[in-house]
């Protein structure tokens, strides 16, 4: 009964937000390294997190080696957008490239 009531309440709130023009709101979750913040899309009923780091960047001594675990961070890491694209020349004429 409690689950049905919570689901019904969530549906009403989601529909109200969608009708008011607000299609998303911030949502946070705890990971092993710290808290990340993404967006909850009320139209799709989906929590979305973009650009969540999974390992330390492969620079310096870490270049061409297996991924190394992230160190825990303080505060909230915003994960609402993808990180920067890799620098690559678009010199393959038989491939389709799309921008993000």
Residues 59-73 pLDDT 10s: 999 999 999 999 999
Cα separation, 24 vs 21, in Å, equals: 9
pLDDT range class, residue 13, cuts 50, 70, 90 = low
What is the structure's pLDDT at 80? 93
The model's pLDDT over 15-29, given as tens digits with 9 standing for 90+, comes to: 655 554 578 899 999
Distance CA 72, CA 58 (A): 17
Contact 27, 40 (CB under 8 A): yes
**For residues 66 and 47, is the Cβ–Cβ distance under 8 A?**
no
Give residues with Cβ within 8 angstroms of 51, minimum separation 6.
79, 80, 81, 82, 83
pTM for the model: 0.61
pLDDT of residue 23: 85
């Amino acid at each position: 009964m409690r689950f049905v009531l919570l689901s019904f309440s969530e549906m009403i709130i989601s529909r109200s937000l969608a009708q008011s023009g607000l299609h998303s709101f911030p949502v946070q979750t705890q990971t092993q390294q710290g808290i990340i913040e993404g967006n909850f899309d009320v139209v799709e009923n989906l929590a979305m997190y973009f650009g969540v780091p999974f390992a330390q960047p492969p620079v310096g001594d870490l270049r061409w080696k297996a991924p190394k675990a992230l160190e825990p961070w303080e505060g909230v890491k915003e994960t609402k957008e993808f990180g920067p694209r890799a620098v690559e020349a678009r010199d393959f004429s038989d491939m389709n490239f799309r921008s993000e």
